[in-house]
Copies of this chain bind each other. A is one copy, B any other.
Amino acid sequence: MKIVRGLAPMQRWATQQTQNKKSIGFVPTMGALHEGHLSLIRRARGENDFVVVSIFVNPAQFGPQEDFSRYPKPLQKDLSLCRRAGADVVFFPKAEALYPTGYQTWVTVESLSKPLCGSFRPGHFRGVATVVLKLFNLVKPTRAYFGEKDFQQVRVIQQMTSDLNVPVQVIPCPTVREPSGLALSSRNTYLSSKERTAAPQVHEALVSARESLKRGHPVPKVLKETRTILNKTPKSKIQYLEFVDPKTLVSTNTPPGRLMLAVYVGQTRLIDNLAVNTAKLSPDSSKRERDKT
């Protein structure tokens, strides 16, 4: 496994593979890798000639009061996990190379960046869209893999890629969870042992909201009840719980859709989301959908 720090060597390597008609699978990460990231690397491994993992804690996507400086950076462990999961290249650029003095160009995906996390983390998705485009230009991937735990991020990146005609296939991958249901996140390491016990209840509340929606309960009622449950969970304080159209991220009262949640457990902000597909409960309409295709 090759470790590349410089931008020019990374881009040269990528150009060479492209000229040799080799496919490149790309997994951009901020390090502190867990089984969620590894599932992306393994999938990339299965679908491409080469696999590149980037490790870069992107300052541009953190707000001034956020956890940029204390974000975990277990580099040696990360490298060994990348190697075992089958990465060919780990791209580990320096912040001053990606954002040199005089840097001033930003990519904004307007509507999709506004609701949900966007309304609580101004500038976050601008930072995400910009760094991902930069990494795409440096790594020149055929396919790029992103976890659906960050569902809004996936939508922002899909839209950016399509709007800007970036020749990269963006592949959303299922959230990996602990047996308790808690979505894996590098930020779970911030949780105290008491908070770790409370955290799975967040997912349970979301699952039970999904079941209510599937049973046909009205969206506003389900959201209200779930918010109450979540705020009663020890150590938990909801930031948002919304039911949205999965393409536009606009709130909707009509399933199917996606339940989107951000919650503080102690001082740690966790996000999660679930698809609510009502097909199973309305066999007739789902049959009609099938007959159409």
A105 at interface (Cβ–Cβ under 8 A)?
yes
| Residues 1-47 of A contacting B (Cβ, < 8 Å) | 7, 11, 15, 18-19, 21
A230 at interface (Cβ–Cβ under 8 A)?
no
Q: How many copies does the complex hold?
A: 2
Instruction: Identify which of B104, B108, B159, B167 contacts A109 (C-beta below 8 A).
Output: B104
A265 at interface (Cβ–Cβ under 8 A)?
no
A165 at interface (Cβ–Cβ under 8 A)?
yes
Q: Are A159 and B18 in contact (CB under 8 A)?
A: no
Q: Are A105 and B137 in contact (CB under 8 A)?
A: no
Number of interface residues of A (CB under 8 A): 30
Q: Are B164 and A7 in contact (CB under 8 A)?
A: no
CB distance from A161 to the nearest CB of B (A): 9
The chain B residue sitting closest to A110, CB to CB, is: B104
Instruction: Identify which of B109, B112, B159, B165 contacts A137 (C-beta below 8 A).
Output: B165
CB distance from A122 to the nearest CB of B (A): 15
CB distance from A96 to the nearest CB of B (A): 13
Q: Are B104 and A159 in contact (CB under 8 A)?
A: yes
**Residues of B close to A165: CB separation below 8 A:** 7, 11, 134, 137-138
- For this complex, 22 residue pairs linking A to B, each with C-beta atoms less than 8 Å apart, are A15-B167, A18-B18, A104-B111, A104-B159, A104-B163, A105-B108, A105-B109, A105-B110, A105-B164, A106-B107, A106-B110, A107-B107, A107-B108, A107-B164, A108-B108, A133-B164, A134-B163, A134-B164, A134-B165, A137-B164, A137-B166, A138-B165
